[in-house]
Amino acid sequence: MGPMELDPSIRTYYDRGKEADRLSGGFPSGPLELARTKEILERHLPPPPADVLDVGGGPGVYAAWLADRGYRVHLIDPVPLHVEQAAAAHGEVTAEVGDARALRGADGSADAVLLLGPMYHLVERDDRILALREAARVLRPGGLMFAAAISRFAALMDLLVRLDRLHEPEIATMVERSVTTGVFEGPGEAELFTTSYFHLPRELAAEVTAAGFAAPDLLQIEGPGFLVPDFENRWADENRREAMLQAARWVENEPEMLAASSHLMAVARTPA
């Protein structure tokens, strides 16, 4: 995949415009992912105002939230629809179409870089390393990078437990390949996602350090709560919602539990 090229199946998936609602309830555990990601960002980001580059930021959910808190946010995404949505989401957010592997930003121009999407769809390791190196390049010394990844076993757990489709032969073939190789060739349905790469925790850490960052803190985002049945009703109940969040917090950096989540997060700094 060359610069500015996006796999047609990925482009088709996102051109439907569903990503704007995914974190607020368009996907069952989206609100859990959103709340936990915000927690992690709040814990590590420098205080505003600081310059944040949101690479692969989609329709701007996190960019708008950060801008509300006084951060200077510039968003980059390969999907033109997402760039339009991000620019409309908050008047202080700037946005452009671009590629995580070839950023236009100047060296040392950002205090923090978010990669909360690119690692999902860069199937080749060389492309992921290139995106991480670009993040390191545009960061100031000691700057922070947040890289989200899909867990290697996310589809296995989701399709067995929540969706009950692992018995379907075509689904089983996709899941088996994702478990053994990391590559998930989803058909682009909302329920089944699209072409993606699923990381092992140690693999994500190795890629981050290979790109020149210090050894990252590895966290899981949702914890096992992404698999709970009747998620919407349980999330609406304050006590049950807090229980899901607390469960994720208790095991967020437990090595034996890192892969028991839908998403992983690597938090790393450039050398000071």
The boundaries of the domain holding residue 101 are: 8-151+200-269
Choose the weakest-confidence range: 42-46, 53-57, 124-128, 191-195: 191-195
The total number of structural domains in the chain stands at 1
The DSSP secondary-structure symbol of 186 reads -
* Amino acid code (one letter) for 116: L
* 168 domain residue, yes or no: no
Torsion angle in degrees (nearest 10) through CA of 30, 249, 221, 61? 50
pLDDT band at 4 (very low <50, low <70, confident <90, very high): low
Beta strands in the chain (DSSP E): 51-55, 72-77, 94-97, 110-115, 139-151, 183-185, 195-199, 217-220, 263-269
Residue 159 lies in a domain: no
Asked whether the predicted pLDDT for residue 3 surpasses 90, the reply is no
| Mean pLDDT value across residues 185-190 | 83
pLDDT tens readout for residues 82-132: 999 999 999 999 999 999 999 999 999 999 999 999 999 999 999 999 999
Express each pLDDT in 54-67 by its tens digit.
999 999 999 999 99
The structure's pTM equals 0.96
CATH of the domain at 247: 3.40.50.150
Is residue 195 situated within a structural domain?
no
Please determine, for residue 222, whether its predicted confidence score (pLDDT) is greater than 80.
yes
| 154: its two tokens | 């996310």
> How many Cα atoms within 13 Å fall on the side-chain side of residue 197?
20
Does 162 fall in a domain?
A: no
